[in-house]
Amino acid sequence: MPTAAARTEAKNAKPTSSGRRKTADSRSRLKDAVAMLKADHRAVEKLFGQYEKAKDAQEKLRIFNRIDMELKVHTQIEEEIFYPASREFLDDDDIVNEAIVEHQAAKDLMAQIEQMDPSDEMYDAKVTVLKEMIEHHVEEEEQEYFPEVRKSEMDTRAVGEQLKARREELMAQMRTTP
């Protein structure tokens, strides 16, 4: 669990926000776990859209780095909090297990892209495949997984509080560790 100090630190870091932090701020009003995760999905989709319009390698790298950070935080809070909490309320584990496998596949591809130079001729292809993998994963979460959770007894507001606290902690960590 995040400490109160970590939460305060993350809160205090907000006023000096860059565009990246502003995105997280506008989402921070949300209280429900599912609404929060869906808002993350929209934010990542928007970034992939920006990547497609990027004019040069430098801009591609800057946008990929934001996608990379968003996806790392998002997959981590899902894996640490949302997936284990919701697993208890679902009839079978397949949906959760498949989501974890899809996360790993995306993370493997992200790690490959991190090692590449954006001027590499395969760079765009890797980012495009990452986008397609994420689109597929998001569709499964939003069409199958989240509706099951909504139908269940899970307290999505309580889980939302945990997601929010952990996200703030991870964002604060990422800002201090380049």
Residues lying near Fe ion in the complex (CB under 5 A)? 37, 78, 141
The CB-of-74 to Fe ion minimum distance in angstroms stands at 6
Q: Which is nearer to Fe ion, 141 or 168 (CB)?
A: 141
Q: Which is nearer to Fe ion, 48 or 60 (CB)?
A: 48
The CB-of-49 to Fe ion minimum distance in angstroms stands at 18
The CB-of-88 to Fe ion minimum distance in angstroms stands at 17
The CB-of-92 to Fe ion minimum distance in angstroms stands at 18
CB-CB contact of 80 with 166 (8 Å): yes
Q: Which is nearer to Fe ion, 37 or 110 (CB)?
A: 37
Rounded distance between C-alpha atoms, residue 72 and residue 66, angstroms: 10
Q: Which is nearer to Fe ion, 37 or 47 (CB)?
A: 37
C-alpha distances in Å from residue 100, one per residue of 76, 118, 151, 159 = 10, 28, 21, 18
Q: Which is nearer to Fe ion, 64 or 146 (CB)?
A: 146
Rounded distance between C-alpha atoms, residue 97 and residue 142, angstroms: 16
Matching residue, tokens 């909090």? 81
Rounded distance between C-alpha atoms, residue 65 and residue 25, angstroms: 18
Rounded distance between C-alpha atoms, residue 43 and residue 24, angstroms: 9
The CB-of-100 to Fe ion minimum distance in angstroms stands at 8
Q: Which two tokens stand for residue 60?
A: 């591609």
CB-CB contact of 160 with 119 (8 Å): no
